[in-house]
Structure 1
Amino acid sequence: MRNTIDFGIDLGTTNSALAVLDGGQVSVVKNNVQGDYTPSAVWMPKAGLIQVGTKAKDRRERDPENVQVEFKQAMGYADARRTFARAGASMTPVELSAEVLKSLRGDATRKFGEPPAAAVITVPAAFALNQTEATSQAAKLAGFTARCPLVQEPTAAAFAYGFQNESRGANWMVFDFGGGTFDSAVVSTVDGELSVLHHAGDLGLGGKNIDAAIVNTLLAPAAAKEFGLADFTVGNPRWARNFMMLRGAAESAKIALSSTDQAPIMTELDLGDGTPESFDYTLARADVDRLAMPFYLRAVHLCREALAKANLQPSDIDRLLLVGGPTLAPGLRELLADPADGLGIELDHSQDPSTVVARGAAIYAGTIELPRAKVVPTRGQFAAVLSYPPTTSLSRVPVSGRFETPGGADWSRFRVVLSESQRREEYRSAEIALSAEGAFTLDVPLEKLISNRFGIELIDPTGVRVPVNPRGFTITHVVNEMQGQTVVNSVGLTEADGTFTPMLMKNRPLPTETTQTFFSTASMRRAETGSFIRIPIAEGEFRRGERNKQVGLIEIKAQDLRRDLPRGSEILVTFEMDESRLVSVTAFVPLLDAEFEAVVDLNKTAVPEVPALRRQLNELEARHEQLRSEAETAHSDRARGLLMRLDEKGTVGTVRDAVTSSAADDNAAVEADARMREVQAELDDIEEELRIPDVMARLRDQIEHCRELVHRVGSEEDRTELADIERRYETVRDSRDAAAAERLSDRARDLQVLLLRRDGSLDEEIFNALRAAQDRMTDPARARELVREGEHALNTHNWPALTDVNRRLRALLPPNPRGEPGPGVLHQEPW
């Protein structure tokens, strides 16, 4: 009987695989057609009949309306559904993934005689919380009765390479270029521990991009020319079946080019009259390498990002571990070996790239104990409760336990023996006396690199061996112990100024918990029953909260308050994440002695709507061109450099293509939304670079004004504050950090207000600012009347009247463009 999970599943975009750890060795479990991997394809030819794997994939070209593939990226999106025309049915990506998992579970049942209760399932490193939650749901639907832990795909690959690898003190990088996703990870092996230092990935980058490029750039134009088809485009539903045929042919030919320079394509196309026409094409490796190069370079860029975040250079990495079928391409391997355009790291392709992730998942599964129902012995029976490490790199480990039997026993007269008879040198411990409570502790030696299966013998006071449940346990010796899971993407909250504050940082070990203190930027009265404070919870790495994915919300409602909450109130926000990546967020308000829990509902994420995507694309392209024009006018070399880098990556074009395809493909809609956020974040950086001169000019004016005021009415404390602002000004000027400059400007403004109030000229300054803005107010005519009234008060030194005019002018200011309340109502500094 297994005491650890042992089974690992690579749930892939194009192919999935199952592996098992048995006797200290890991092997791939073959499917029902004796293949090492199962295509992630589902065919429903009629209601109630579902085929998964090779049979389904083979039907993709002949029966595309009833076959579904590439549904992994749409997992976690509540309204994503795939239809089967002939059956008149539809399934969600979670249900489709469950069918693939069910098929793999059936393979394990055929081989081992019983279905596994659980398996470790892999997910891309870049999967968001809603997508990992959807993967867990798919496991439940597939019939797994115990919790199925999730592990990141590049982490699993690293486990497979490092399992019994005796390299110590080494740094590796995983390069996982799969069918639909790309992942990279920087891995360290130190003192027998294998840990992930950093990872980066792209859910829309994989072999399918290369297949699409081959079809759209080479095959479709050739077919259109040969058969005189003017409207033969991928977006035309009339030709959907033909494009499915071409995609399949392109994929097969691309794979063949791993071992040859040219590959023939021979397929049949339906030209609209039901008569098939033969289409022949010779695909050259050089053409495929040319089309694939932008995707390869994107992957290399992500690797360099991961290295930089880990504070490493390519020269610090000992080996590049190749994972995924596309890494068999000679063109990609040549690029990766090149230190200038690639990475220049020694390539390691010693593992099968198509099954290495499943093997690594199985290795990790061997470290996780299966949940066991507590054994309640009947009279005359004995049960053992044991504690030991399922896997270890140590040569000796302590094993402790405690025996139980109904009615108890005089345990001090019992003895226990642990033995291992299956290894090269049989081991049998001495007879160890139990404590009065029936407990024992014993160090046991382990044979290297195998599963050590120990038997338990309990000897009663008469010297008779009595049966024990369980009868034994297993400890697997490994070279490198796998460290625990980490936070995949940073999770945090959006502050009042739109800044994203990460609370659970990417790569932080799980489980984890953190608390930070914030301050409210708005007051709330109990009497205002319709008012509320909303604090958005987001997941991602971008500095602006709106660029990240919102996954939850803390809402504090006025009717829930026992007393009014003034502006600047302390709010303690706590984030927790367990090993299954389940997140809980609470906000504790000391003034109210009350705690508010966030609503984190990962099952309501919707596929982005096509009209909204098109509108956002138009806005993005207009903003892109506007910033390009501003960069030229401002003669900003740094801004032009950022624009050039964005253009070189071709991300805007990728977004445009994804939006075009989103009408018929929910995967494309999800990808378009993610890419849009990425490009907008890069445009934010360019905009910030262009904003620097204005911000710095304003800051210089503020500092100069503060100098005058300090000289006139300042205290020693004011002079100290001004000196610190001036010192920090030099830093932000050199760093060109617009956000830091804005924060420093806020400090200078606060000092200005303090000094103006002391000087007695604050109302005059406010009035001058409001007078300058009178034409932009909601009622310009009324504003002009108030300005005349204010000028009279100013000339007659009627300060109370001027204060009242300022109050009425402020009421005419246009609303905050962010709206009230803002995207967040917390700030890390008290106001």
Structure 2
Amino acid sequence: MARTKIDYGIDLGTTNSAISRMENGEPTIKKTDTLKDTMPSSVYINKKKAIQVGDSAYNALKRDRLKSMKASGNFESNAFIEFKRTMGSDKSYSSSNLGKDLTSEELSAEVLKTLKSFVKDENVNSIVITVPAAFKNNQKEATREAAQLAGFDHIELLQEPVAAAMAYGLSSDKKDGFWLVFDFGGGTFDAALLKVEEGIMKVIDTEGDNYLGGKNLDFAIVDEIILPYIEENFVIDSILADDSKKQILRNAMKFYAEETKIKLSFNDTHNILSDLGDIPGEDDEGEEFELDITVTQADITKALGPVFQKAIDVSKNLLERNNLKSSSLDSLILVGGPTFSPVLRNMLEAQICKPDTSADPMTVVSKGAALYASTVNISEEVREQTRDKTKIQLEIANESSTVETEEFVPIKILADKTEGEIPEKVFAEITRGDKAWSSGKVEINTIGDIVEIQLNEGKTNVFDVVLYDNKGNILESEPSNFSVIQGSKIGNATLAYNIGIELKDKITNKIRFKSIKGLEKNLSIPAVGTKNGLKTQKQIRPGIDSDFIKIPVYEGEHNSDGTRAIYNEHVTDIIISGVDLPALLPENSDVDLTVNVDRSEKIMVTAYFPYLDFTTEIEVDTTKSSIETSWLANEIRKAKGSVSELRDEGNPDEAKLQKIEIELAELDKSFENNKNDTDAKSEVLSNLRKSLKVIDALNETTEWPKLEEELKAEFYRLEKANTDLGNEKSTKLVNEFRSQLEEVIKTKDVKLAAVLLDEISGFFFQLTFIYQLINFVRNHNDHFGSYQWRDTSRARVLLNKGLQIIGESPDVDELHPIVLSLLDLLPDNEKPSGDETILVG
């Protein structure tokens, strides 16, 4: 059948994936080749270069991991899993059987192709794919790339918690209140808070961790249960001393751990048993490994509790920052295989509230994606490819979901899309799927008419559309049906991050992240944001590629405004050079930015230059993330140094300091063990950011005395400069600063003090600007021969002119252009520090 809605949804998971389709108004799982609801997200390339996906690939992975123990690190596996965690990075997976490296996107494409193959009765060209709410822009872009490689022409992305809420909401009797979606997947964790009013759902806040999931649970079981057993029963000193060998052992034991995790989700105990020879390799004394471990609920609680607690803490923080208590929740919805665990369910009930277990955690996301897909029109481009123009083409503008029991549906004939003959009079009859309601025959034409339909409550209503001529003969039409979901209505998805850019602050001169108004976290998408009145720092000459403006685009977490770059996720750098501009753009020119974010969070930036009356539009091409090993090592070192400084300054919160020290030590160890692992480095950076925020918060408690002293000194310096150089206007401003200083000292507000310090410093700079220009000219004249001037003669002429102005009557307007021209004659490494390519705002 020719579809007008997408109707297909895929849950592309870290460890398991599923595909669903709307059938007769219901989201239906399409069974895998092994007749399961879900399929392992695993890929294997055999020696004949054939690609296997799913259960067979997962079994091959298990065999390869065990073989690697005997190969002493020389074995190269051709089976892969958990590549979703490296989507959007420069990580590649080497396949000796295929003779090349594969990207995360290429491996994900194979999973998507296989899911698509489970649909036997039609070709699938359009798809909704779910992604974690905490996914960054580059990871979403990588998901689109994987879908394109898999042959999909129209791709929509949907946040996993939103999909789960949609599937849950359709069947739930609860139509009001606050819902918390607790989505603990194979590799990621998401928490989403929704407000529901009369069945209309709106996401109000999200939080998550892209490096917390079932994988962490598996390794917790390995480290806390299986490895201690092996240490106790075998001699493995050489393995433990070699990080590479230890990791091979951990990876091989992970499959036993995963089985244990699943079994103990439904049983009180589980025996980990292996026969002699099942596990290749020997201990230091030549003994073959063998497992015989009885694991109880108490054992698994001890192992998994700390990992689950991290997810619960994220959820509690999400509630707290929205001023909600656990008792305020009406539903706690579980998503993901690990949420079957009684350990987690007991912890949730004790710390938040009793979970609602009515939805299947394994399929709720895929089904929700299909429900959402039934509300999204197939793109016109794809629609044109599938039209049967011999049938009368219709446009049916129905609401896809509603909380009303009656809806008005506009319907009209598309004559320009129809190649066959259209009778002079055409009548349409709309009949509900249960045959209990019909519109009767209503005349329609190319202008259109409106039909009022009646809906059954709390379900998806399917309506058949039949056309007749004036003699009662049936006319073939397309589409011939439509559906309306009654009882719930999903609000638009929301931004999981603040979208903003890195700017040089015009007062403090510091380069910081600034969010774009209209694109703040939790606002509905699609969305449009603006940032007007930004300034260029230097002129851009037309046709010159080396003259450019750089607009670094970032995604920022909660409270990210004004933070350092390391706190935020770099999306890409937009470069606008002289080649893109029609004429000279002078220094200090205005730039107005408009940023559009579509329903799938694709970003488009429009830059307008009022001076040139010129607009350029740039689609953000997300860059692959790459973390420099040396840079990350240095950031960890600096974080440790910050903790030492806090202790030296006598920070009173010793418990927090010790906790941060332990966390940093664990981060450092993880980093040292996985310097070449992209996924591991990303996880280290993610956790380092969390530690840095705690360090900054602790800094504030010891910062006040020295900040107060610095603030007073800076104000007295400004006051003296104003006495020597000021006027009536500047004196008024200095008096305002004095009042603000007194108020800040009284309240001891560190954040306000820091802002005030920046403002006072900025005004001092403006007031004494003429003297800085004079000093620049004199210094470069005195040391003329030590600079590598691009044009020595030109530099000499400019300096002489500057000295002449200084000797007669120093004037900022005359001296400033000379200094700028001199700066252009200096090589980049001899210019004063600071990025002149980014905008000021």
Report the TM-score, using the length of structure 1 for normalisation.
Answer: 0.83
1:112-511 matches, within 5 Å, as 113-144=121-152, 146-233=153-240, 236-238=243-245, 242-267=249-274, 268-272=278-282, 276-338=288-350, 342=351, 344-371=352-379, 372-373=383-384, 382-405=392-415, 414-420=425-431, 422-423=433-434, 425=436, 427-434=437-444, 437-461=446-470, 463-470=471-478, 472-496=480-504, 497-503=510-516, 504-511=519-526
1:81-96 matches, within 5 Å, as 81-96=92-107
Residue 187 and residue 366 in structure 1: after superposition, are their counterparts in 2 closer, same or farther (change >3 A)? same
Partner of 1:584: 604
Q: Name the aligned partner's letter for residue 105 of structure 1.
A: K
CA distance in 1 between counterparts of 2:19 and 2:420 reads 46
Residues 493 and 545, structure 1, Cα contact 8 Å, conserved in 2: no
Look up the SS of the partner of 1:725 in the other structure.
helix
Q: Name the aligned partner's letter for residue 218 of structure 2.
A: D
What RMSD in Å do the two structures reach over aligned CA positions?
Answer: 4.1
Q: Which moved more, 1:304-313 or 1:556-565?
A: 556-565
CA distance in 1 between counterparts of 2:728 and 2:368 reads 64
Partner of 2:637: 622
Residue 288 and residue 616 in structure 1: after superposition, are their counterparts in 2 closer, same or farther (change >3 A)? farther
CA distance in 1 between counterparts of 2:743 and 2:658 reads 27
CA distance in 1 between counterparts of 2:320 and 2:159 reads 20
Question: 2:567 aligned with 1:547, yes or no?
Answer: yes
CA distance in 1 between counterparts of 2:54 and 2:346 reads 32
Q: Name the aligned partner's letter for residue 555 of structure 2.
A: E
Look up the SS of the partner of 1:122 in the other structure.
strand
Compute the displacement of 1:280 (Å).
2.2
Residues 193 and 204, structure 2, Cα contact 8 Å, conserved in 1: yes
Within the candidate set 529, 533, 539, 2:549 is matched to 533
Within the candidate set 85, 108, 115, 1:73 is matched to 85
CA distance in 1 between counterparts of 2:499 and 2:339 reads 32
Compute the displacement of 1:160 (Å).
1.6
Residue 283 and residue 431 in structure 1: after superposition, are their counterparts in 2 closer, same or farther (change >3 A)? closer
CA distance in 1 between counterparts of 2:580 and 2:389 reads 53
Residues 163 and 363, structure 1, Cα contact 8 Å, conserved in 2: no
Partner of 1:826: 839
CA distance in 2 between counterparts of 1:589 and 1:167 reads 51
Residue 606 and residue 745 in structure 1: after superposition, are their counterparts in 2 closer, same or farther (change >3 A)? closer
Partner of 1:63: 64
Within the candidate set 96, 105, 112, 1:101 is matched to 112
Residues 155 and 196, structure 1, Cα contact 8 Å, conserved in 2: yes
Residues 552 and 598, structure 1, Cα contact 8 Å, conserved in 2: no
Identical residues among aligned pairs (%): 29
Compute the displacement of 1:199 (Å).
0.6
Residues 416 and 456, structure 1, Cα contact 8 Å, conserved in 2: no
Deviation per residue, 1:747-794 (Å, 9 max, x gap): 33455567779xxxx8599989x99xx9xxx99xxxxxxxxxxxxxxx
Residue 726 and residue 645 in structure 1: after superposition, are their counterparts in 2 closer, same or farther (change >3 A)? farther
Residues 554 and 599, structure 1, Cα contact 8 Å, conserved in 2: no
CA distance in 2 between counterparts of 1:272 and 1:662 reads 25
Question: 2:10 aligned with 1:19, yes or no?
Answer: no
Partner of 1:28: 29
Compute the displacement of 1:239 (Å).
6.2
For structure 1, list consecutive stretches of 5 or more residues without a partner in the other structure: 780-796
Compute the displacement of 1:825 (Å).
3.0
Compute the displacement of 1:712 (Å).
8.9
Residue 733 and residue 320 in structure 1: after superposition, are their counterparts in 2 closer, same or farther (change >3 A)? farther
Residues 495 and 524, structure 2, Cα contact 8 Å, conserved in 1: yes
1:766-805 matches, within 5 Å, as none
Compute the displacement of 1:11 (Å).
0.9
Q: Name the aligned partner's letter for residue 614 of structure 2.
A: A
Compute the displacement of 1:261 (Å).
4.1
Q: Name the aligned partner's letter for residue 737 of structure 2.
A: I
CA distance in 2 between counterparts of 1:16 and 1:409 reads 43
CA distance in 1 between counterparts of 2:79 and 2:513 reads 41
CA distance in 2 between counterparts of 1:288 and 1:580 reads 39
Residues 500 and 515, structure 2, Cα contact 8 Å, conserved in 1: yes
Residues 60 and 244, structure 1, Cα contact 8 Å, conserved in 2: no
Report the TM-score, using the length of structure 2 for normalisation.
Answer: 0.82
Partner of 1:729: 741
Residues 43 and 58, structure 2, Cα contact 8 Å, conserved in 1: yes
1:660-739 matches, within 5 Å, as 660-663=672-675, 665-687=677-699, 690-704=702-716, 717-718=729-730, 720-729=732-741, 732-733=744-745
Residues 20 and 29, structure 2, Cα contact 8 Å, conserved in 1: yes
Residue 277 and residue 589 in structure 1: after superposition, are their counterparts in 2 closer, same or farther (change >3 A)? same
CA distance in 2 between counterparts of 1:239 and 1:729 reads 58
Residues 52 and 99, structure 1, Cα contact 8 Å, conserved in 2: yes
Residue 396 and residue 740 in structure 1: after superposition, are their counterparts in 2 closer, same or farther (change >3 A)? same
CA distance in 2 between counterparts of 1:686 and 1:168 reads 43
CA distance in 2 between counterparts of 1:711 and 1:173 reads 60
Partner of 1:574: 594
Q: Which moved more, 1:29-38 or 1:590-599?
A: 590-599
CA distance in 1 between counterparts of 2:774 and 2:261 reads 69
Look up the SS of the partner of 1:443 in the other structure.
strand
Q: Which moved more, 1:452-461 or 1:120-129?
A: 452-461
Residues 74 and 93, structure 1, Cα contact 8 Å, conserved in 2: yes
Residues 23 and 450, structure 1, Cα contact 8 Å, conserved in 2: no
Compute the displacement of 1:198 (Å).
0.7
Look up the SS of the partner of 1:574 in the other structure.
strand
Question: 2:55 aligned with 1:54, yes or no?
Answer: yes
Compute the displacement of 1:510 (Å).
1.7
CA distance in 1 between counterparts of 2:830 and 2:25 reads 62
Look up the SS of the partner of 2:238 in the other structure.
coil
Residues 165 and 479, structure 1, Cα contact 8 Å, conserved in 2: no
Residue 88 and residue 224 in structure 1: after superposition, are their counterparts in 2 closer, same or farther (change >3 A)? farther
Q: How many residues align structurally?
A: 780
Deviation per residue, 1:25-56 (Å, 9 max, x gap): 23322212121211111122223322211122
Within the candidate set 516, 520, 526, 2:535 is matched to 520
Residues 627 and 686, structure 1, Cα contact 8 Å, conserved in 2: no
Partner of 1:787: none
Look up the SS of the partner of 1:631 in the other structure.
helix
For structure 2, list consecutive stretches of 5 or more residues without a partner in the other structure: 66-76, 505-509, 788-805
CA distance in 2 between counterparts of 1:86 and 1:276 reads 29
1:646-665 matches, within 5 Å, as 646=660, 651-663=663-675, 665=677
CA distance in 2 between counterparts of 1:24 and 1:386 reads 17
Q: Which moved more, 1:293-302 or 1:523-532?
A: 523-532
Compute the displacement of 1:234 (Å).
9.5
Residues 418 and 454, structure 1, Cα contact 8 Å, conserved in 2: no
